[in-house]
A and B are shown apart, each in its own frame.
Chain A
């Protein structure tokens, strides 16, 4: 392989990895945008989505399309139920209490998935075949294109939702100031419920589309969440476009680092970039400083 071919392959690899990270990061943003908290169970929603999809297609043997939407629906319901059971009953929760609750939930979901589906790593057949597409000597899997497409659609819908619908604007208002939002007649608790449901749904979507590439088991959510969270922070918490851009940056840095320097240092390279950016611009690449000042995080 010539150097040019290699470079292109590294870019493709970086885009694949970056798309996975970006997709996970999007889920963090929703709940953060609406409530100002970090949902540390976000990785588990991703895992639940992937595992549910494998369960529905491989065990129940439902068609792919049906299982896709059914999985998202079920995980969305789980997200909503979690909010009703654990977040809703609290009278005046502090941010830190809420975050700790999400940690507990993540352990619970992980344990539940372990008992329900066992501990084996599972795989899902790709949506449209496994034959790699060859572009100028480098290859990319069709599944990566699915991830990119679904991610683009998700981001577009989120931008429309938060920018142009009343509900979306109301959710943003809640995040900015709960008291003020409720004074102008927004039902804050409903918005919080909605944000959990939405982010569970997005997490599940991420889980489903990455499983054919990254495989899935009950334990994988936490690790995906760590990378996804770093990406969300790098992009600027709350910024969906930022999450996507940051995902690609981290992914491409990792893959170029592995290719040209050493695979042993690739995580270090990506993390150094993250630290540098946060050092120079604490609100993240596309996060607004003004907005960051409102938040407790």
Chain B
């Protein structure tokens, strides 16, 4: 027995020694496997981070990075980390298509947020429709969701709603004859179509219809033509630098009639760049930029104030509505992933049936007939006063 006991003790000691030597190693080897993170949920993001639409894509990229950090710091989605793969389109349709194909086939993303521009979004629609990947565009043009495409959604407010809000404001001011001037970009062109389509319904007469190229340096020729017409107001529908140059040129020509801009004017930097010429510009915009003047019990107040505060603290620059579009798109996808898990089709169905989703752009109510989810009330009419945006009274 004693001998046996010695052997037992010896074996135990040996095991302990072996465990002490090898054990820690083997334990270390096992721990990562046991703690191995759950499979990451991959979401693609296609933004025009550089190039002519960088002012759209940069806040969107920043927002996406901020959300990724935030979600992962809070333990991911149902324990799965969130991986947002960001691709830069340079605002170019060909590159956008390449980026979308890469995300779908190589990265196998569950959904795509973006692209930033209307033209590039239209270019990727056939690809996501074929591959059956949910796409939530951050671009404004109506044509993205009208007619409804089963896999395509968008978060910015509709062009037609912007046009309706502009026309309604004009009617309140007693304006009935207007001139429109639009950039020949995808955004400007779609805006022009909506303005022309909706004018008769709201009893507005368009007496001059001018356009300009995205790289033009001076629009006084077009504005001279408008000045000679009977127009009581001008609507400019474009992106920078056009929207600033038009305001400056109107001032140069001594035009006193009010200037309305599209929701593309939603960045305080533009008002500052326009300086004196920017004062009094009226435009429809999401509530993000006027959050300080919003009533405390407004349903969007909390979301908007939180996003604005976090974004401005992290990036030390003014928040813009464009980053907000990415916020809405990503949070829709995150909500879907949380509920239905990593399944492209279920994500699509979930988003299509989302109701009362409070985003930065408004309160979204999607349906199989409406993949934009917002009403015209998502817009507030703002005006520029002392280089600040305030709600138009």
Give the B-binding residues of A (Cβ under 8 A). Answer: 1, 6, 9-10, 12-14, 16-17, 20, 114, 119-123, 125, 130, 132, 134, 139, 141, 210, 213-215, 217, 219-220, 223-224, 227, 254-256, 258-259, 263-264, 266-267
Write the chain B residue with the least CB distance to A16. Answer: B218
User: Chain B's nearest CB lies how many Å from the CB of A53?
Assistant: 15
Q: Kindly state the separation between the CA atoms of A12 and B276 in the bound complex, as whole angstroms.
A: 22
Contacts of A6 in B (CB 8 A): 224-225, 228
User: Chain B's nearest CB lies how many Å from the CB of A243?
Assistant: 17
Partner of A213, one of B217, B221, B270, B274: B217
Return the CB mask of B264-277 against A: 1 if under 8 Å, else 0.
Answer: 00000110011110
Contact (Cβ within 8 A) B220 A9: yes
Given contacts A210-B217, A263-B212, contact A215 B273 (CB under 8 A): yes
Q: Kindly state the separation between the CA atoms of A244 and B270 in the bound complex, as whole angstroms.
A: 32
B:117-141 near A, CB below 8 Å: none
User: Chain A's nearest CB lies how many Å from the CB of B231?
Assistant: 12
Tell me which of B240-248, B299-307, B372-380 binds A.
Answer: B240-248
25 CB < 8 A contacts A-B: A1-B224, A9-B220, A10-B221, A13-B218, A13-B220, A16-B218, A119-B50, A121-B244, A121-B270, A123-B273, A123-B274, A123-B275, A125-B275, A130-B276, A132-B251, A132-B254, A139-B252, A213-B217, A214-B218, A215-B273, A255-B221, A263-B210, A263-B221, A263-B222, A266-B221
Contact (Cβ within 8 A) A13 B215: no
Write the chain A residue with the least CB distance to B58. Answer: A119
The 5 closest A-B pairs by CB, nearest first: A214-B217, A119-B54, A223-B215, A258-B221, A255-B221
Q: Kindly state the separation between the CA atoms of A259 and B224 in the bound complex, as whole angstroms.
A: 8
Given contacts A130-B276, A132-B253, A263-B212, contact A213 B224 (CB under 8 A): no
Contacts of B54 in A (CB 8 A): 114, 119, 219
Interface core residue of A6, A10, A114, A120 (most chain B CB under 10 Å) = A120
Q: Is B52 an interface residue (CB 8 A)?
A: yes
B:200-238 near A, CB below 8 Å: 210-213, 215, 217-218, 220-222, 224-225, 227-228
Contact (Cβ within 8 A) B217 A219: no
Question: How many chain-B residues does the 8 Å CB contact rule pick out?
Answer: 36
Interface of B is mostly: helix
Contact (Cβ within 8 A) A213 B213: no
Contacts of A123 in B (CB 8 A): 244, 273-275
User: Chain A's nearest CB lies how many Å from the CB of B361?
Assistant: 22
Write the chain B residue with the least CB distance to A227. Answer: B215
Contact (Cβ within 8 A) B241 A121: yes
User: Chain A's nearest CB lies how many Å from the CB of B193?
Assistant: 14
Q: Is B24 an interface residue (CB 8 A)?
A: no
Write the chain B residue with the least CB distance to A143. Answer: B252
User: Chain A's nearest CB lies how many Å from the CB of B268?
Assistant: 11
Give the A-binding residues of B (Cβ under 8 A). Answer: 50-52, 54-55, 58, 184, 210-213, 215, 217-218, 220-222, 224-225, 227-228, 240-241, 244-245, 248, 251-254, 269-270, 273-276
Interface of A is mostly: helix
Contacts of B244 in A (CB 8 A): 121, 123, 215
Contacts of B58 in A (CB 8 A): 119
Q: Kindly state the separation between the CA atoms of A177 and B215 in the bound complex, as whole angstroms.
A: 38
Contact (Cβ within 8 A) B220 A219: no
Contacts of A120 in B (CB 8 A): 55, 269
Partner of A139, one of B217, B225, B240, B254: B254
Contacts of A114 in B (CB 8 A): 50, 54
Q: Kindly state the separation between the CA atoms of A139 and B211 in the bound complex, as whole angstroms.
A: 21
Partner of A12, one of B50, B184, B220, B240: B220
Given contacts A6-B228, A119-B55, A121-B55, contact A214 B253 (CB under 8 A): no
Partner of A17, one of B50, B210, B218: B218
Q: Kindly state the separation between the CA atoms of A166 and B73 in the bound complex, as whole angstroms.
A: 69
Contact (Cβ within 8 A) B55 A213: no
Contact (Cβ within 8 A) A254 B221: yes
Interface core residue of A114, A120, A214, A263 (most chain B CB under 10 Å) = A263
Given contacts A6-B228, A215-B245, A264-B184, contact A122 B217 (CB under 8 A): no
Q: Kindly state the separation between the CA atoms of A14 and B224 in the bound complex, as whole angstroms.
A: 12
User: Chain A's nearest CB lies how many Å from the CB of B185?
Assistant: 13
Partner of A263, one of B211, B245, B252, B269: B211
Q: Kindly state the separation between the CA atoms of A120 and B274 in the bound complex, as whole angstroms.
A: 13
Contact (Cβ within 8 A) B224 A10: yes
Partner of A20, one of B210, B217, B222, B240: B217
Given contacts A114-B50, A121-B244, contact A13 B221 (CB under 8 A): yes
Contact (Cβ within 8 A) A214 B224: no
Contacts of A263 in B (CB 8 A): 210-212, 221-222, 225
